[in-house]
Amino acid sequence: MEHAINRAKILVEALPYIRDFRGKKIVIKYGGHAMVDPELKRLFAQQIILFHYIGIHVVVVHGGGPQISTVLNQMGIKSSFIDGKRITDARTMDVVEMVLAGGVNKEIVSLINSEGGKAVGLSGKDGGLISARKLYLSRKDAQGNKLTDVDMGHVGEVTHINPDIIEAVEKAGFIAVIAPSGVGDDGLTYNINADTVAAEIARHLGVARLIILTDEKGVLDKDGKLISSMHCGEIPELISSGTVTGGMIPKLECCIRALDGGVMKAHILDGRIPYSILLELFTHSGIGTQIIKE
């Protein structure tokens, strides 16, 4: 009986959050271990379906770096990286598009549908969703002086988001699952960082929340403890002091970009935790780091 009562208390705790979020939009960047572990994949799909059923409009943007690397290795195509970014020639881009739009994207759509949801897979090419241009990687020396701009091949950055197709999918009662690629004015397809795509889509849709799933607890302070809530203005100091390093820096930059565009809050949380999104949004304490504008 006590166990049943505790479960009821959890539902009651979630009620005001469900009420506040009903009718609003959220963008979730799906990546990391949550895309690999079979049980976590199933739980992710169930959370997305739950949001949909209670009237929260969800857009999923996914990554797929490890899956791309696996297929490239199987095909005997070597990858070169600069500052953690893959140089993407035309042959590699063909594989990237095949894996992201034809493999990973359809797997996520199938999983959501098999769990009782209604999902549709999209890429940046569909309906002119994502316009892009070639991204040149700016390299600097130890003193911060610019050295050169490196041509990364078919790696791009977002120039424009056309939300019409997302809104059409949503109006028809479907959940949009988006692969992070875009098309340039030159007609070429570009691979784009999934965090960046998620942030730009969140800006253009005017969503209530941007959620980035990672393989980290969230943003940590200098003592390695989780920062549960922070303001955008705190981020530059965390970076300059070396408290935040590596891959967390571009994620925080994406959060700033989204918040500057009108998104109400951004969240960085550990996708390895079962039901991580529900725990972050529907409980008093949350489990990750929430970032607010002011």
For residue 255, tell me if it sits in a domain.
no
pLDDT recorded at residue 14:
80
Which residue, 262, 292, 288, 265, is CA-closest to 277? Answer: 288
Per mean pLDDT, which range of 96-100, 149-153, 220-224 is the poorest?
149-153
Residue 78 token pair: 């070597």
For residue 34, tell me if it sits in a domain.
yes
Helix, strand and coil content of the chain, in percent to the nearest 5, comes to 45, 30, 30
For residue 8, tell me if it sits in a domain.
no
Helix axes 248-260, 194-205, angle to 10 degrees: 10
- pLDDT tens digits for 209-239? 999 999 999 999 999 999 999 999 999 999 9
For residue 144, tell me if it sits in a domain.
yes
- pLDDT tens digits for 16-28? 888 888 999 999 9
In contact, 87 and 152? CB cutoff 8 Å: yes
Cα–Cα distance between 255 and 263 in angstroms, integer? 9
For residue 76, tell me if it sits in a domain.
yes
CA dihedral 210, 211, 212, 214 (to 10 degrees): 170
Percent of the chain whose predicted confidence (pLDDT) is above 90? 69
pLDDT recorded at residue 56:
94
| pLDDT(171) > 90 | yes
| pLDDT(80) > 90 | no
For residue 215, tell me if it sits in a domain.
no
In contact, 2 and 271? CB cutoff 8 Å: no
Burial (Cβ within 10 Å: 0-12, 13-18, ≥19) of residue 234? middle
Cα–Cα distance between 191 and 157 in angstroms, integer? 8
Q: How far is CA 229 from CA 95, 155, 255, 280, 294, in A?
A: 39, 33, 13, 12, 11
What CATH number is attached to the domain comprising 136? 3.40.1160.10
Which residue, 218, 221, 202, is CA-closest to 259? Answer: 202
Q: How many domains does the chain have?
A: 1
- Stated pTM of the model: 0.92
Residue 206 token pair: 């005017």
Find the helix or strand (DSSP H, E) in which 265 lies: strand 265-270
For residue 248, tell me if it sits in a domain.
no
Cα–Cα distance between 108 and 147 in angstroms, integer? 41
Structural domain span for residue 137: 24-207
For residue 39, tell me if it sits in a domain.
yes
Q: In what order do the strands lie in the sheet with 229-231?
A: 119-123, 175-179, 57-62, 25-30, 209-214, 265-270, 289-292, 229-231
